[in-house]
Amino acid sequence: MTSTATRPTASGPDDRPKPERAPRVLSFSHRMSRWDLKVSPYLYISPFFILFAIVGLFPIVYTAVISFQEWDLVRNSGTFVGFDQYIWILSQADFWVALRNTFSIFLLSSVPQIVLALFIAAMLDRNIRAKTFWRMSVLLPYVMAPVAVALIFSNMFGDNHGLVNNILTSVGLDPIAWHKDPFWSHIAIATMVNFRWTGYNALILLAAMQAVPREYYEAATVDGANAFRQFWSITLPSLKPTLIFVVITSTIGGLQIFDEPRMFDTFGRGGAANQWLTITLYLYNIGWGEFNFGRAAALAWILFIIILAIGLINLGITRRLVRDEGGRGVIQRRRRRKGAQQ
């Protein structure tokens, strides 16, 4: 899979003549401009971090404070209870069911989603008529409000009068217990998620595909590689960094899934036997259903830690993959260093 790296055209930047190193003259304006070069990027990005500190960091810290308390929302006061709230959450069977459901829905949505997005992107990457129209249409589901999506799909996945079950029974099959069987409820919810996010991911992947130099494909065609072989050996490896980005974002999104399971039935509590209770839904039920914000805050932190852990695992995999394969920046730097030694 290192084909891209070994192709002569891939090392384009390396062909540039190496610049002569200029002698260092540290005049004031030079120092200023160096300073400008170093500091101003941070100034430019600072609004985000200042804003984040106010609307992001503060709530996170405040949540941590509340999570160690028995909190009364109305009177805005609490008593310190140490790790009791965390222990309570971890000892709940509901929590572990919610964790199972979250991962199940996440896998059922992310995997087919990315495969399908890749396929759609590959199709859109070809020379088709009315390109912009098709590309826009792919993004359309993403623009729809999740609530609207859920309304449409809850009509489809109705147990008695749903579209899918009507079709199944009309061809003599058994209707599916969408709201009873955990697996099928996860399938239904994952379908809603996939409907919404596949197009979005497809466009990101398409953008990355467009960046793959066309010469590769021309050369491959000359060599007699068919379309599938080209996709497998050229497109996919080039997409690796983007794919990893897509995987990470959909992991974070998947672990926080809320709208779709909440809209899946009228009660929005995750099913009578917690069939489709997800972690965020559980969090919501504790917080805004029972107004127990101490426990909800503890659960929020547990979720935060889970996402962090998964993120780190992702990062580890990413690093390894990038070092071995695609990541242009890393490879270039390594090559350049090698070049300097010679």
Query: Which residues, 215 to 244, sit near other proteins by CB under 8 A?
Result: none
In angstroms, what is the minimal distance from the CB of 166 to other proteins? 12
Q: Which phi and psi (to 5°) does residue 79 adopt?
A: -115, 140
Instruction: Pick the closer one to other proteins by CB: 91 or 132.
Output: 91
In angstroms, what is the minimal distance from the CB of 67 to other proteins? 18
> Is residue 196 close enough to count as binding other proteins by CB under 8 A?
no
> Is residue 273 close enough to count as binding other proteins by CB under 8 A?
yes
> Is residue 177 close enough to count as binding other proteins by CB under 8 A?
yes
| Distance from C-alpha of 294 to C-alpha of 72, rounded to nearest angstrom | 8
In which residue are the tokens 């917080």 written? 287
Radius of gyration of the chain (CA): 26
In angstroms, what is the minimal distance from the CB of 263 to other proteins? 6
DSSP 122-152: HHHTS--SSHHHHHHHHHHHHHS-HHHHHHH
Q: What is the total count of residues that contact other proteins (CB under 8 A)?
A: 32
> Is residue 16 close enough to count as binding other proteins by CB under 8 A?
no
Segment near other proteins (CB under 8 A); pick from 115-123, 159-167, 227-235, 316-324: 159-167
In angstroms, what is the minimal distance from the CB of 297 to other proteins? 15
Task: Write down the H helix ranges in the chain.
Answer: 3-6, 28-52, 58-67, 84-90, 93-124, 131-143, 146-156, 163-170, 182-210, 214-223, 227-230, 236-255, 259-263, 279-284, 293-324, 328-341
Segment near other proteins (CB under 8 A); pick from 52-60, 102-110, 227-235, 257-265: 257-265
Segment near other proteins (CB under 8 A); pick from 30-38, 100-108, 117-125, 153-161: 153-161
> Is residue 166 close enough to count as binding other proteins by CB under 8 A?
no
In angstroms, what is the minimal distance from the CB of 93 to other proteins? 7
Q: Which of 30, 34, 180, 229 binds other proteins (CB under 8 A)?
A: 180
> Is residue 125 close enough to count as binding other proteins by CB under 8 A?
no
In angstroms, what is the minimal distance from the CB of 269 to other proteins? 7
Do the Cβ atoms of 79 and 72 come closer than 8 Å?
no
**For the purposes of burial, counting CB atoms within 10 Å of the CB of 271, is it exposed (0-12), middle (13-18) or buried (19 or more)?**
buried
Q: Which of 16, 21, 24, 161 binds other proteins (CB under 8 A)?
A: 161
Structure tokens, 220: 């491959």
Query: Which residues, 52 to 111, sit near other proteins by CB under 8 A?
Result: 73-76, 92-94
**For the purposes of burial, counting CB atoms within 10 Å of the CB of 4, is it exposed (0-12), middle (13-18) or buried (19 or more)?**
buried
In angstroms, what is the minimal distance from the CB of 76 to other proteins? 7
- CA separation, residue 308 to residues 139, 255, 337 (Å): 29, 11, 33
> Is residue 269 close enough to count as binding other proteins by CB under 8 A?
yes
- CA separation, residue 246 to residues 124, 259, 260, 276, 324 (Å): 18, 20, 20, 25, 19
Residues interacting with other proteins, by CB under 8 A?
73-76, 92-94, 147, 151, 154-155, 158-162, 177, 179-180, 262-263, 265-269, 272-273, 275, 288, 290-291
